[in-house]
Structure 1
Amino acid sequence: MAYKSNNNQVRAKKHLGQHFLNDETVAEKIADSLTLNNYKTVLEIGPGMGVLTKYLLKKPVTTYVVEIDTESVEYLQANYLNLAPRIIEKDFLKYDLNESLNGEPFAIIGNFPYNISTQIVFKTLEMRDQIPEFSGMFQKEVAARICSKEGSKVYGILSVLVQAFYHAEYLFTVPPDVFNPPPKVDSGVLRLTRKEDYSLPCDEKMFFKVVKTAFQQRRKTLRNSLKTFDLSDNLKANSIFGQRPEQLSVASFLELTQLLENDK
């Protein structure tokens, strides 16, 4: 199903998860959430008709946009002539960004389609060496989950993995009525700032596996949810294994991974 946009230029396409932001104040506020520290390039994901893009173009950085929707690409090419050479008509999740960005550091920003927002975050984590900052709009509950701390009911896999590498800040909430078509839920804008030292004191693959396995049975203690790791009796006696995953901070998950690595 497609919806007519306010200016009848681009139709929002449901299968792409498009909800076009039409509030200039919100768009400018999102653009201003970037600190512009440690990078000179910004990549906007899903610019649509450029409501956020035009504020990015005023900043002292080089702006690229990646857009899968041909209709949006044609609109941007016609209305943002200076941007045209930096419009990447690709699927962000499948495209090798360095074909365009040449290995340079860059920030990510956008009003992200709800249906791929968590996948965008996971690709950001994969490319964290190049991405010192990330700012954008998610479904509110997803933004809250990413930024939540241990002890919260929404604290989970995404919270721990993101916060292992980035400082996460929930910035502000955006109501449905500033979009066309309006979504059925509130949206939330967050900013991720890469930690000064974002190296892990343990094996990365092991860390990801431990976090994901622990939260798959979040109501169980770690002693039970991590059984597949063949814990030694000595390790099982450690008090950390009597806790549930939502009780552990990011630092504790890193320590837990080290314990499992050394349990040989």
Structure 2
Amino acid sequence: MEYTLKKSLGQHFLKDEQVCRNIVAALQEHDLSQLLEVGPGGGALTKHLLPLANVDFKAVELDEEKVIYLKHTYPVLKDRIIHASILDVPPPFSGSFTVVGNFPYNISSQILFRMLEWKDQVPVMVGMFQKEVADRVASGPGTKDYGILSVLVQAFYDVTYLFDVPPESFNPPPKVMSGVIKLVRRTESYNMKSERALFVLVKAAFGQRRKMLRNPLKGMFDKEVLAEEIFSKRAEQLSVADFAALTFRMK
């Protein structure tokens, strides 16, 4: 049984067995009882996940052709595939579950925001992204890659960049490098006024990342607060802790 590639869905299928084994090894460093694979596609990673002992496995796949192919190739998946977009489904398990995937590049940022919505249930995620997205999520203050995604993800997860994946590991080869990162939920959360306040603040701050913070943030703080030294910095110079602390001083 064959399947076709759909460019519109950002499909690049993994074919490198060693990359699959490395992803599974990263998952096994943590407790694993419920596991969701996002975008299994042709099942390259799925076939390495199914043998994991004592794991309740589900997969979410939008492309109907791939759903049919996977059920045909791996009959055990018959009732375990959710035919939908990860951006539309409710959490597929009650209680904690781990997320893994070779994520479609065209919705990778949205998938990360989905993980933030589910963070109370998702202690660990191992995912492959376009390298520039993986770098952004993992980077720290003072770097050019540090931005909205870095701060908002790192506010709730410790991020580790695991390894690069070259284009030839895929069919068809993408035009860019890929990278695998691991998110592990923080044991101590940052103290902040509210998650919404943090999201609003960070998005506004990086909206004009070349300017001193008092410009993009002038409507959010009182004048005397804006006169403080920290507002002479640019967004990329502030740590996650700095942003979290600032939420308490917003109007």
Measured against the shorter chain, the TM-score band is: over 0.9
Question: 1:31-65: per-residue Cα shift (whole Å, max 9, x none)?
Answer: 22114635511100110121101111122321110
- Residue 75 of structure 2 is aligned with which of 81, 86, 100? 81
Whole-Å separation in 2 of the counterparts to 1:251 and 1:260:
15
Aligned 8 A contact 1:39 1:105 in 2: no
TM-score w.r.t. length of structure 1: 0.91
CA distances 1:69-110 after superposition (whole Å, capped 9, x unpaired): 11111111111111221111111101123xx42x22111110
The gaps in structure 2 that reach 5 residues or longer are: none
How far 1:236 sits from its partner (Å)?
1.8
Q: Aligned pair 1:69/2:59, yes or no? A: no
The equivalent residue for 2:150 is 159
| Mapped contact 2:192–2:198 kept (Cα < 8 A) | no
- The amino acid of 1:220's aligned partner reads K
- The CA RMSD measured in Å over matched residues stands at 1.4
Which residue of the other structure, out of 91, 96, 108, is the alignment partner of 2:90?
Answer: 96
Alignment gaps of 5+ in structure 1: 1-7
The equivalent residue for 1:131 is: 122
Taking structure 2 as the reference length, the TM-score comes to 0.95
Distance 1:118-1:256 versus aligned 2 partners, 3 A rule: same
Name which of 216, 223, 226 aligns with 1:236: 226
Q: Could you say if the C-alpha distance between residues 121 and 27 of structure 1 is closer, same or farther in structure 2, counting changes exceeding 3 Å?
A: same
Residues in 2 aligned to 1:41 and 1:200: alpha-carbon distance in whole angstroms: 29
**Cα distance between partner residues in 2 of 1:18 and 1:198:** 35
CA contact (8 A) 2:154 2:240 kept: yes
Q: How many residues align?
A: 250
CA distance in structure 1 between the partners assigned to 2:160 and 2:28 by the alignment: 13
Residue aligned with 1:72, SS: helix
Give the corresponding residue for 1:5: none
Distance 1:233 1:179 in 2: 53
SS in 2 for 1:191: strand
1:238 Cα deviation (Å)?
A: 1.5
Q: 2:216 aligns with which of 219, 222, 225?
A: 225
8 A Cα contact 2:191 2:245, kept in partner: no
Question: What is the CA–CA distance in structure 2 between the aligned matches of 1:135 and 1:187, rounded to whole Å?
Answer: 13
